[in-house]
Copies of this chain bind each other. A is one copy, B any other.
Amino acid sequence: MLRAAVSLADEGGLKSLTMRRLAESLDAEAMSLYYHVANKEELLDGVAEFVVQEINDVVDRIDLPSAGADWKKAARQRILAAREVLLRHPWAPELLQTRTTAPVAVAKYFDGLLRLMRDGGFSYDLAHHGLHALGSRALGFSQELFNPGDDANSDDSAAMMENMAGQFPYLAGMLMEIVHDDPDSTLGWCDDQTEFEFGLDIVLDGLDRLRSER
């Protein structure tokens, strides 16, 4: 079903992915889709998950750098591989931008990037800013991303933390450090303005450096 939805979008863009057409393309005709999915938003969430998982499959096939080796080269490889997948699904960035809740596969993807950066000698703090700075380049979409802490509204945040540590150890480590440094910060909440300026300054400084090198 998700595979069929992706095919439809590949052929005619996001707006040709319609419940009726999807049902038709599955020979099963009509609105039986609503048995498997609550509504179209849930369908779109599934498609988003599916396409980011396709990225993860490609990225996971890339070897990790040996121990403390060149993190930059490894990150570059992964990001360019992600871009390649996205170029085959040009509708995906627009879809991801409209999701209100982050696909789990996105957490997995960033957890992998975070691992590279940690192994490369980054503090969690700098790595955190770094993920924001990469922003749109990391996954083909921009914007202030998502509100994390979404896939579990459990008030038992300790249990949530443990569950998360299992799936996404580096993301969990990062969050724990943020909470440790600033106990008042809402779990996973980021100061968008600060992060925007951090990323902006990296680009501006980099350009200025190139300019004065001439």
Interface residues of A (CB under 8 A from B): 71-72, 75-76, 79-80, 83, 93-94, 97-98, 117, 120-123, 126, 130, 133-137, 140-143, 196-197, 199-208, 210-212, 214
A208 to B75, CA, bound (A): 11
Residue among A97, A121, A135, A208 with the most chain B CB within 10 A?
A208
Known: A93-B142, A143-B93. A76 touches B196 (CB 8 A): no
Q: Give which listed residue, B122, B135, B207, B212, contacts A133 with CB less than 8 A.
A: B207
Contact of B76 with A211 in the complex, beta carbons under 8 Å: no
Shortest distance between the CB of A74 and any CB in chain B (Å):
10
**Do A130 and B97 form a contact, CB below 8 Å, given A142-B141, A197-B80?**
no
Leading 6 A-B pairs by shortest Cβ distance: A142-B142, A136-B142, A202-B206, A136-B136, A130-B207, A206-B206
Cα A141 to Cα B122 in complex, Å, equals: 28
- Please name all residues of chain B whose beta carbon is closer than 8 Å to the beta carbon of A76 when the two chains form the complex: 200-201, 204
> Contact between A211 and B120 (Cβ–Cβ < 8 Å)?
yes
Which residue from chain B places its CB closest to the CB of A120 in the assembled complex? B211
Known pairs A76-B200, A200-B76, A214-B123; A133 contacts B208 (CB<8 A): no
Contact A137 B97 (CB under 8 A): no
- Say yes or no: B207 contacts A206, CB within 8 Å: no
- Bound: A137/B211 CA distance, A: 20
Is there contact, CB below 8 Å, between B202 and A122?
no
Given contacts A94-B98, A134-B203, contact A208 B72 (CB under 8 A): yes
